Amino acid sequence: MRHLYGVALAVLLAAAVFFGAAWGYVWAFNGIEASAATSSGLPSADGGGLPAAGGSLFQNTHVMVGGGALLAVGLAAGLLMVIPRVSPLAAGLPGLVLVAWTVLYASDVREAVRLIPLKSSDSGTGFELLLFSGLLGAAGLAMMAPLFIPSRWRGPSQVPGYAGLGDDTPPQPATVSAGISGSALEPTADFTRPSDDSPDQG
């Protein structure tokens, strides 16, 4: 059941990469290009040709919105990668797809671009730009890392002192038997003070 949830999270993360990260990349890229074009008439000493004339990009809505989308998707992918209770499939499956798509792009560009859905939208354009730059392949390699950690494939260990009866059964307190007869444990040796009649130890 844990890995089934991981597959569902993998689908959601793949959608976030395409509709969130790819779209955000295009928005941020277009904002930077427009800002650089605006300052292209200024002298180079005044930041001519640089985005925001060499100043702050915080006033650029495209950059802030697009960059925020990229950061949000990156944060979601990072959490799925590092949280031990999450199945490694959640981040590993999208990462595997991104790496395979990058390899296909390197070997057959036309076929890789043909497989991109909604190519006329900002998400499709951003996905192609990320694919061309190699960022999707690099991100995919990082997302595949949990697949190679053996402890991520096992369920979380039970709390010490509790015995689990199965994945669907809540853990029960472990009991300790007092013995076959069920009587209380008693000391096996009687440590008493020596009597006055005992011989002196020489």
How much is the pLDDT for 56? 87
Domain boundaries, the chain: 2-151
How much is the pLDDT for 168? 53
How much is the pLDDT for 90? 93
pLDDT tens track, the chain, 202 positions:
888 999 999 999 999 999 999 999 999 988 888 888 888 878 877 778 888 888 888 888 888 999 999 999 999 999 999 999 999 999 999 999 999 999 999 999 999 999 999 988 999 999 999 999 999 999 999 999 999 999 888 866 555 544 444 555 555 555 555 555 555 555 555 555 555 555 555 4
Q: Which of 148, 137, 135, 131 is nearest to 99 (CA)?
A: 137
How much is the pLDDT for 173? 56
Q: Which two tokens stand for residue 15?
A: 């959608």
How much is the pLDDT for 89? 93
How much is the pLDDT for 163? 46
How much is the pLDDT for 202? 47
Pinpoint the alpha helices (H) of 17-160.
Answer: 23-38, 61-82, 89-107, 109-114, 122-133, 135-143, 150-153
| 163: β partners | 172
Who contacts 96 (Cβ-Cβ below 8 Å, separation ≥6)?
A: 140, 144, 147
Q: How far apart are CA 169 and CA 157, in angstroms?
A: 14
How much is the pLDDT for 164? 47
Q: Which two tokens stand for residue 115?
A: 């497989």
